[in-house]
């Protein structure tokens, strides 16, 4: 089995939120390519790995992110900022991915709280 991991340093948030997804500028600094689908959804390629980001267009803070595997039509490693939960953002993200990226598989860890 060949496993590859990518660690992206994300700035520590002011409120020490361990689920803070960072700012678009932090992702773009490490990116090989940035593709804007619209003012909220962005694709970022970093060292061969592709992530889909949901951002707040006013602040460019990243609300949610997931690793995107285009060949398998899958997203995994989905994370959403603690402060942006319970606002419909996760549902918005998943629905957008299903509709626009033709996602038909979401990989999850069953014991992830």
For residue 17 the two structure tokens come to 């939120």
Helices and strands (H and E) in the chain: how many: 2, 6
Question: Per-residue pLDDT for 113 more than 60?
Answer: no
Strand partners, 69: 74
Alpha carbon 6 to its chain centroid, in Å, reads 13
Average pLDDT, whole number, for the chain? 82
List pLDDT tens digits, range 43-54: 999 888 899 999
List pLDDT tens digits, range 1-41: 344 444 444 444 455 565 678 889 888 888 888 999 999 99
Q: Is 28 exposed, middle or buried (0-12, 13-18, 19+ CB in 10 A)?
A: middle
Cβ 10 vs Cβ 23: under 8 Å: no
């Amino acid at each position: 089995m060949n496993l590859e991991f990518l660690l992206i340093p994300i700035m520590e948030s002011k409120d020490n939120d361990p689920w803070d997804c960072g700012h678009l500028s932090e992702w773009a600094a490490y990116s090989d390519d940035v593709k804007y689908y619209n003012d909220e959804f962005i694709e970022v390629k970093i060292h061969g790995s592709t992530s889909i980001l949901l951002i707040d267009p006013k602040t460019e803070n990243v609300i949610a992110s997931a690793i995107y595997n285009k060949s398998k039509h899958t997203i995994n490693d989905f994370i959403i900022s603690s402060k942006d939960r319970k606002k419909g953002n996760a549902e918005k993200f998943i629905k957008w991915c299903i509709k626009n990226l033709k996602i038909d598989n979401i990989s999850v860890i069953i014991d992830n709280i």
